[in-house]
Amino acid sequence: MHLEGKVLINAPRERVYEFLTDPNQVTQCAPGVEKVEQIVPGKSFRATASIGFGTIKARFSGNVEWLELEAPNRAKLKGHGTASGSAADVVSEMTLTDAPNGATQLNWTADINIVGQLASLAARLMGTVSQKLTGVFFDCARKKIEAGNPAASAAAGPA
């Protein structure tokens, strides 16, 4: 399954990059993440997450490795996780570019492959659920990054 999208974040590229490449920060926005542990700082980490596809639930444990880190322009990672009777592999990449008024344009892709019991039981729901979860993730990340950016808060005006 291939997913991709664009997100405009009212913060400088350096701040966006720092947040999205820090496992302890970024996993605060990843739906279902229960635990994260850095294995090699700046290189790899381990995470445990519970994901539901309708009435079907799975708890994945896996490792994530940064393949490329090119601050503050792009990053690429790969992850492999297993759940009871299933496995998932993901390769994801982000590219950051300057946008007007000090904002950052984030372009991202994710190629996800799920095999085993979960794939056969929840195949029809995976695309819809994955799109929903990525929307939740990027909305949370954008808000957290912008909250740490006084210029974006001032530009937004009073709530």
Q: How far apart, in whole angstroms, are the C-alpha atoms of residue 76 and residue 96?
A: 12
The count of other CB atoms within 10 Å of the CB of residue 123 is: 12
Mean pLDDT of the chain: 89
Tell me what pLDDT residue 156 has.
45
Dump pLDDT digits (tens) for 80-105. Answer: 999 999 999 999 999 999 999 999 99
| Domain ranges (residues) in the chain | 2-151
> What pTM was computed for the model?
0.87
Dump pLDDT digits (tens) for 5-55. Answer: 999 999 999 999 999 999 999 999 999 999 999 999 999 999 999 988 777
Report the CATH number of the 2-151 domain.
Answer: 3.30.530.20
Q: How far apart, in whole angstroms, are the C-alpha atoms of residue 131 and residue 134?
A: 5
